[in-house]
Structure 1
Amino acid sequence: MSIVDWIFVTGIALTIVALLGSAYFLVQILRTSQQIRRLPVRRIKNKKKRRFIARKRQKLINKRKRSLRYCLVLLVVTVLFGGASGYLSYYQSMNLTTDDSDSVVKGYYLLRDFEEQITIAKEKGDDEEKMQKNIRYLATAMASYGSKTASTSNSQEGQLTLNRYYNAVKQLGMNASTQTKNFYGNAAVVNDFLEDIKKVETYEKAAFAYYNVDESAFSQEK
């Protein structure tokens, strides 16, 4: 698990402990209140017994006050940890995990590099063997996206969006791996793949939009 996952689990555990603690002290408050009500209310003639009951009542009242104080403190802690854990869960569901972020970044550059290489191959702009080697490498890298799945920390919609993107990249890579020798000087094949790239980019844009990824940052880095 990531650090964020550990923080979330710890937050949930502390929330449960604090809630159980507040429940315990609430029970103590109710029990103490019952004990206070059971004490004699009428004035007792026996002075020694009267003092004993007065001390006992005061002791129980103090105990109830302490229990109330602890109960309130633990309730506040429960709300704080519960709220923080809830926000963290929401944050996780709406933001890319480290692994997914790395996959999206890598996929972005793979797609652009592949487009660049097949465009060069179309125009015979470089050595044929070199072009085949480059395209084969990129195709294999894209096909490996078949082993990737979105983190379950993401929302269901987010997982679906990412998995569609990963699958589209994988499919493009698998198709390209069977055509590595057919790109060079073949405008028809290249044009077909350029259309496929545009389709993959629609899934990519959907993932970027959902997770608020700034595409311009990729262009600047490149």
Structure 2
Amino acid sequence: MSIVDWIFVVGVALTIVALLGSSYFFGQVLRIGKQIRRVSGRRIKNKKKRRAMARKRQLLIKKRKKTIRQCLILLLVTGVFGGVAGYLSYYQAMNLTTNDSDSVVKGYYLLRDFEQQLIIAKEKGEEEEKLQKNIRYLATAMASYGTKTASITNSEEGQLTLNRYYNAIKQVGMNASTQTKNFYGNAQVVDSFLADIKKVQTYEKAAFTYYKVDESAFSEEK
């Protein structure tokens, strides 16, 4: 798990502990309140006993005030940790996990490398055997996206967006793996796959838009 995941888990655990603690002290406040009412309602004629009862009442009142403070502090702690856990949950839902980020970056470059190799094959720009080998490697790598699924920490919409993107890459890779010997000098086949790549890139753009990925950063790295 990432640091964010650990912080989220700890935050949830502390929220639960603080909530249970505040519930306990709230129960104590109610119990002490009943004791104070019971003591206050008693009519005692004996002066000595009456003083003792008055002291007991004062001690109970002090105890209740202390318990109320403890309850309020724990409620505050519950709110703070609950807020942190809530924010982290939202952060995780709206941002790529490390694994998904790696998959998106790899997919971005796979698509463009594949596109470049197809254009070269169409124009017979390099040796046929070398191009077939490169295309086969890229097709296999793209087909492996069939094993990828978006992290469940993402929002439902985010998972749907990423899984659609992963599946589109996989489909192009699987189709290309059966056509590796047919690209060289074949404009019709190449153009068909170039059109497929453009479709995949619409899913890619949707994922980038949803997760606010800066595509220019990819271009700079390359």
TM-score, normalising length: structure 2: 0.96
Choose 37-46 or 159-168, whichever is displaced more.
Answer: 37-46
Segments of 5+ residues of structure 2 without an aligned counterpart are none
Partner of 2:171: 171
Q: CA deviation at 1:58?
A: 1.3
Confirm or deny that 1:149 pairs with 2:156.
Answer: no
Q: CA deviation at 1:48?
A: 2.3
State the identity as a percent: 78
2:152 and 2:145 map into 1 onto residues whose CA distance is 17
Confirm or deny that 1:183 pairs with 2:183.
Answer: yes
Q: CA deviation at 1:59?
A: 1.1
Q: CA deviation at 1:65?
A: 0.7
Q: CA deviation at 1:4?
A: 2.0
Residues 220 and 40 of structure 1: CA distance in aligned 2, closer, same or farther (over 3 Å): closer
* SS of match in other structure, 1:58: helix
2:44 and 2:123 map into 1 onto residues whose CA distance is 110
Residues 48 and 142 of structure 1: CA distance in aligned 2, closer, same or farther (over 3 Å): same
CA contact 2:40–2:57 (8 Å) conserved in 1: no
Partner of 1:217: 217
Segments of 5+ residues of structure 1 without an aligned counterpart are none
Q: CA deviation at 1:37?
A: 1.0
Spell out the pairing of 1:11-160 with structure 2 (5 A cutoff).
11-40=11-40, 44-160=44-160
2:15 and 2:38 map into 1 onto residues whose CA distance is 35
Choose 206-215 or 38-47, whichever is displaced more.
Answer: 38-47
Divergent runs of 4+, >6 A: none
Code of the residue aligned with 2:111 in structure 1: it is L
Code of the residue aligned with 1:69 in structure 2: it is R
Partner of 2:202: 202
Q: CA deviation at 1:14?
A: 1.2
Q: CA deviation at 1:188?
A: 0.9
2:103 and 2:126 map into 1 onto residues whose CA distance is 29
Q: CA deviation at 1:41?
A: 5.4
Q: CA deviation at 1:44?
A: 4.7
* SS of match in other structure, 2:141: helix
2:118 and 2:64 map into 1 onto residues whose CA distance is 78
Q: CA deviation at 1:52?
A: 1.2
Choose 139-148 or 4-13, whichever is displaced more.
Answer: 4-13
